[in-house]
Amino acid sequence: MLNIVASYCVVPSEETPETRLRLSDYDQVVRLGHTPNIYIYKAKHNHNTTEKMIKSLSKILVFYYPIAGRLSLTESGRMELDCNAKGVTFLEAETTKSMSDYGDFSPSESIKELVPKIDYTTQPIEELPLLFVQLTRFHGGEGFAIGSANSHVLSDGLAHIRFINSWAKVTRGETLEPHEMPSFLDRTALIFQRSPSSPRFDHPELKPLPLKLGTSDDAAEKKKKTRAVLLKLTAKQVEKLKKKANEQPVKEGSRHYSRFEAITAHIWRCASKARELDEKQPTLLRFNVDIRNRLIPPLPRNYFGNALVATVTPKCYAGEIMSKPLSYAAQKVREANEMVSNEYIRSQSEAVLGQEHLDCIKAFFMGQGERSLAHFPGNPNIQITSWMNLPVYEADFGWGKPIYFGLGYVNSHDRALILLSPEGDGSVIVSIHFQIAHMQLFKKLFYEDYSKL
């Protein structure tokens, strides 16, 4: 049983600019809600833990003042950031469960209680905080959890993690370096002028994904339940996957496939086999690309906002993914990644935000719940996210680094998240969210297919 002990509204410790920030098209089309993440710490929860975290949060909000603001809706149906310093919500909780009761902390219904619960229907969106934090003490004092729920409209994962790490550093009593400040809060760098010739590309990533053969929509697949498990690959296993992917390169003279390309190809292959797809079944892999360094000129290093764009692999068939060398799937992943150039991004920006999205935003503000127009990336397709480059284990609030970081909910569609393990030994954790009916076979194939390499 979990009990909320106290709730605090934390505002910036100093006066901050009162302004409205325009949001880019990429801020408008993300999931209209908060993304719950969870950090687990094996450390004593002292009596002053809450006080220290609230005090440092108040200080860091001076620099990250948009986080203390609210979303607002313009007459055109676009969202803006109202920097009004109304503050964020900090919850203090305690649970009757011990750390061991939560197992390996893989996303599940029980894990959801460790992150703030947000109701989008009873409170006007314009009054809803953009950040909720929940500090939960485990029974017996053996550790605690920090659950954060960050508005996706406010920022992507990288920007949010950088904020959390800066907050942790201030809590430790250290001074932030200039590069740790959100030096670029202005979103207009991702608001491009419209061109008469745009969009200049076909943009398959914005189109519906392939359906299962014999079906006319994805309604049946959406109803199927998913669950999540954590699967670990040691550093040696990762290197073996890379070696196998590079044994038979598709394109002569191409550079070696990366860790991400090899692991992603392996997941895609196992998913196709576990679903027992027809060989002629079209299948795509979808993932996001960080565009901070792909734009010309590049975005500032500490750009605070959403700077991710979607991409999909070229059309292929399940039979090819399952039977051809691992390098075949890895090459498809590479082609999807390399497609995202400066010109491609600027072209995509012309097509990414349509009237349907604006109508969805209006419905969200009218209290009709959290909605999204994103295409369903489940069976026969899959979405994969890499967090291997995110500094998630730098969130040391003075009690040591977290022993676990991950999502605080189970995705309703097939999705894999790839993270480095907290041990820092080069091993990797795959948090796979998959249809329950196929999960057992996927787990078996994940290691069985690897051993065959």
Q: DSSP string spanning 6-53?
A: EEEEE--SS----EEEE--HHHHSS-SSEEEEEEEE-S---TTHHHHH
Per-residue pLDDT of 235-247, as tens digits, reads 999 999 999 999 8
Task: Looking at the structure, tell me whether residues 131 and 213 fall in a common domain.
Answer: no
Task: Looking at the structure, tell me whether residues 157 and 239 fall in a common domain.
Answer: no
Rounded distance between C-alpha atoms, residue 69 and residue 183, angstroms: 18
Residue 169 domain flag: yes
The predicted structure's pLDDT at residue 253: 62
Q: How many domains does the chain have?
A: 2
Residue 35 domain flag: yes
Task: Looking at the structure, tell me whether residues 293 and 349 fall in a common domain.
Answer: yes
| Domain boundary residue, one of 136, 157, 185 | 185
Q: How confident is the model at residue 10 (pLDDT cuts 50, 70, 90)?
A: very high
The predicted structure's pLDDT at residue 251: 64
Edge-to-edge strand list for the sheet holding 2-10? 2-10, 88-95, 131-137, 144-151, 34-41, 404-407
Task: Looking at the structure, tell me whether residues 79 and 170 fall in a common domain.
Answer: yes
Q: State the amino acid at position 60 in one-letter form.
A: I
Q: State the amino acid at position 368 in one-letter form.
A: Q
Q: How confident is the model at residue 450 (pLDDT cuts 50, 70, 90)?
A: low
Burial class (CB in 10 A: 0-12, 13-18, 19+), 282: middle
Answer whether 110's CB lies under 8 Å from 2's CB: no
How many beta carbons lie within 10 A of that of residue 144, not counting itself?
A: 24
Rounded distance between C-alpha atoms, residue 125 and residue 362, angstroms: 11
Task: Looking at the structure, tell me whether residues 324 and 422 fall in a common domain.
Answer: yes
Task: Looking at the structure, tell me whether residues 27 and 149 fall in a common domain.
Answer: yes
Q: pTM of this prediction?
A: 0.95
Residue 196 domain flag: no
Task: Looking at the structure, tell me whether residues 380 and 317 fall in a common domain.
Answer: yes
Task: Looking at the structure, tell me whether residues 340 and 219 fall in a common domain.
Answer: yes
Task: Looking at the structure, tell me whether residues 84 and 230 fall in a common domain.
Answer: no
Residue 339 domain flag: yes
How many beta carbons lie within 10 A of that of residue 440, not counting itself?
A: 12
Residue 191 domain flag: no
Domain that includes residue 131, residue range:
2-185
Q: How confident is the model at residue 248 (pLDDT cuts 50, 70, 90)?
A: confident
> Which residues have a catalytic role annotated?
152, 396
| Domain boundary residue, one of 151, 185, 219 | 185
The predicted structure's pLDDT at residue 302: 87
Per-residue pLDDT of 189-230, as tens digits, reads 888 877 666 668 999 999 999 999 999 999 999 999 999 999
Residue 197 domain flag: no
Task: Looking at the structure, tell me whether residues 226 and 91 fall in a common domain.
Answer: no
> What residues are paired with 287 via a beta bridge?
311
Residue 422: is the preceding peptide bond cis (ω within 30°)? no
How distant, in Å, are the alpha carbons of 70, 270, 369, 429, 433 from that of 448? 49, 10, 42, 17, 19
Q: From 309, 45, 359, 114, select the one nearest 199 (Cα to Cα).
A: 309
Q: State the amino acid at position 332 in one-letter form.
A: K
Rounded distance between C-alpha atoms, residue 203 and residue 106, angstroms: 34
Residue 101 domain flag: yes
| Domain boundary residue, one of 153, 185, 217 | 185
> Helices (H) and strands (E) in the chain — how many of each?
11, 17
Q: How confident is the model at residue 183 (pLDDT cuts 50, 70, 90)?
A: low
Q: How confident is the model at residue 4 (pLDDT cuts 50, 70, 90)?
A: very high
Phi-psi label, residue 424: left if phi above 0, alpha if psi -120 to 50, beta otherwise = left
Per-residue pLDDT of 302-347, as tens digits, reads 899 999 999 999 999 999 999 999 999 999 999 999 999 999 999 9
DSSP state string for 223-242: HS-EEEEEEEE-HHHHHHHH
pLDDT > 80? residue 24 = yes
Per-residue pLDDT of 36-59, as tens digits, reads 999 999 987 676 899 999 999 999
The predicted structure's pLDDT at residue 99: 94
Q: Are strands 382-386 and 415-420 parallel, antiparallel or unpaired?
A: parallel
Rounded distance between C-alpha atoms, residue 440 and residue 343, angstroms: 43
Cα-based torsion angle of the residue sequence 209, 213, 219, 223 in order, rounded to the nearest 10 degrees: -100
How distant, in Å, are the alpha carbons of 3, 97, 372 from that of 408? 18, 17, 19
Task: Looking at the structure, tell me whether residues 394 and 422 fall in a common domain.
Answer: yes
* Interval 59-78 mean pLDDT: 95
Mark out the alpha helices in 37-122 (DSSP H runs): 49-63
Q: What is the CATH number of the domain that holds 235?
A: 3.30.559.10
Residue 290 domain flag: yes
Task: Looking at the structure, tell me whether residues 226 and 179 fall in a common domain.
Answer: no
Average pLDDT of the chain, as a whole number: 93
The predicted structure's pLDDT at residue 188: 84
Percent above pLDDT 70 for the chain = 95
pLDDT > 90? residue 181 = no
Answer whether 288's CB lies under 8 Å from 385's CB: yes
Rounded distance between C-alpha atoms, residue 124 and residue 318, angstroms: 45
